[in-house]
Amino acid sequence: MWKCLAVVFALACSSLPGQAADLTELETRWLQAGWPVVSYARQQALPLDIVVQPAARPGEPPLAMGFVDARCKLVLSMRGNPDAQATLDDIPAELLGPVVEAMTAHELGHCWRYVQGAWHTPPAGFTDAHDTAADDATLAAMKRDMRATRWEEGFADLVGLAWTQSRHPAQYRAVHDWFERFRADQPVPGAHHDTRAWLRRAADPAVLRQGATPFDQAMPVWRSEVDAGP
Res 14 pLDDT > 60: no
**Could you tell me if residue 229 is inside a domain?**
no
Q: Indicate whether 65 and 133 sit together in one domain.
A: no
pLDDT (tens digit per residue) in 161-181: 999 999 999 999 999 999 999
Q: How many residues does the chain have?
A: 230
pLDDT for 193 equals 73
Count CA within 13 A, CB hemisphere, residue 46: 30
pLDDT-derived band at 31, boundaries 50, 70, 90 = very high
41 plus 116 within the same structural domain? no
Domain boundary among 56, 90, 124: 90
Domain final residue pick, 64, 90, 116:
90
Rounded to the nearest integer, the mean pLDDT of the chain is 85
- pLDDT recorded at residue 47: 95
Of 33-37, 50-54, 146-150, 225-229, where does mean pLDDT reach its minimum? 225-229
* 134 occurs within a structural domain: yes
What confidence score (pLDDT) does residue 137 get? 73
Question: Same structural domain for residues 29 and 120?
Answer: no
- Domain check: are 106 and 79 in the same one? no
- As for how many domains the chain has, the answer is 2
Spatial distance between the Cα atoms of 175 and 205, rounded to a whole number of angstroms: 11
Whether residue 39 sits in one domain with residue 17: yes
Domain around 86: 6-90
CB contact at 8 A, 149 and 192: yes
Q: Which residues pair with 75 in a beta bridge?
A: 51, 64
Same domain? 13 vs 85? yes
* Residue scoring higher pLDDT (59 or 213): 213
Mean pLDDT, residues 96-115 taken together: 97
Nearest-Å Rg of the Cα atoms of the chain is 17
| Higher local confidence (pLDDT), 8 or 29 | 29
Q: 132 and 73, same structural domain?
A: no
More confident residue, 23 or 122: 23
pLDDT higher than 60, residue 210? yes
Residues 114, 67: Cα–Cα separation, whole Å:
8
